[in-house]
């Protein structure tokens, strides 16, 4: 489930476009800094701000164990490949960026994301490169499906444990793929029924 984007915190009241711009600026800053000390201060500031303004985002970030496990594995690989200092830099960069991205997604609804991305993509539509509404819809669906797939994985694992079955990749991946495809097909039919795809977007 996607966390409820409704809230009264200062971050909730920030316009979605400003949050996306801040996320982009933070990513540039994180990959520009090369000092572990500077990155540690910046990471600490992000964690402190999250605790003060949006603790739900920190909870969701900690629950995203596949992402955290991937970051940890990359850090361990970097230790052997480039040394502890380089690994620290990688962990601080990816950890801080993923946490701030979680803050943005928790405090912004899918509808707000779609509207914002659609407005940003309008220049591409005027140039005849792409349909702005299609771009916004695609990104919105990706944001919506990431937690949905994670929830489906938990459901499949719980069903295995309830039946006393051994967890195997083949018995987990196959039902997940089938259920996701069926859900995607239903969403595609609903989109086509509403004539959303391929319709030129309108500026508010």
Range of the domain at 149: 131-193
* 95 and 164 part of one domain: no
In this predicted structure, the answer to whether residue 63 has a pLDDT above a threshold of 90 is no
Instruction: Give 163's DSSP letter.
Output: H
* 91 and 147 part of one domain: no
* 99 and 137 part of one domain: no
Establish if 33 belongs to a structural domain.
yes
3-state secondary structure of 165: coil
Q: Which residues fall within 8 angstroms of residue 131, CB to CB, at 6 or more apart?
A: 125, 197, 198, 199, 200, 201
Q: Tell me the per-residue pLDDT of 140-184, one tens digit each, with 9 for 90 and over.
A: 766 666 666 667 777 777 887 888 877 777 777 777 777 767 766
Q: Tell me the per-residue pLDDT of 13-62, one tens digit each, with 9 for 90 and over.
A: 888 888 889 989 999 999 999 999 999 999 999 999 988 888 888 888 88
Place of tokens 């083949």: 170
Note if the pTM is more than 0.75.
Answer: no
Establish if 5 belongs to a structural domain.
no
Helix boundaries (H) for 107-168: 110-120, 122-126, 132-163
pLDDT at 30: 92
Identify which of 101, 91, 115, 186 has the alpha carbon closest to the alpha carbon of residue 146: 101
* 60 and 150 part of one domain: no
* 27 and 100 part of one domain: yes
* 96 and 140 part of one domain: no
């Amino acid at each position: 489930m996607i966390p409820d984007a409704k809230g009264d915190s200062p971050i909730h009241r920030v316009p979605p476009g400003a949050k996306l711009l801040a996320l982009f600026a933070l990513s540039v800053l994180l990959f520009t800094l090369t000092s572990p000390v500077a990155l540690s201060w910046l990471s600490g500031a992000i964690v402190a701000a999250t605790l003060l303004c949006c603790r739900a985002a920190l909870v969701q970030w900690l629950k995203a164990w596949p992402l955290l496990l991937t970051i940890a594995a990359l850090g361990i690989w970097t230790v052997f490949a480039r040394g502890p200092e380089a690994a620290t830099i990688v962990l601080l960069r990816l950890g801080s960026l993923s946490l701030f991205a979680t803050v943005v997604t928790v405090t912004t609804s899918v509808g707000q994301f779609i509207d914002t991305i659609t407005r940003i993509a309008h220049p591409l539509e005027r140039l005849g490169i792409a349909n702005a509404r299609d771009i916004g819809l695609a990104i919105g669906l990706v944001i919506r499906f990431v937690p949905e797939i994670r929830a489906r994985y938990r459901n499949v694992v719980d069903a295995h444990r309830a039946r006393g079955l051994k967890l195997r990749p083949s018995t987990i991946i196959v039902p997940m793929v089938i259920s996701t495809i069926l859900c995607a097909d239903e969403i595609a039919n609903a989109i086509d029924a509403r004539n959303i795809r391929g319709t030129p977007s309108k500026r508010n």
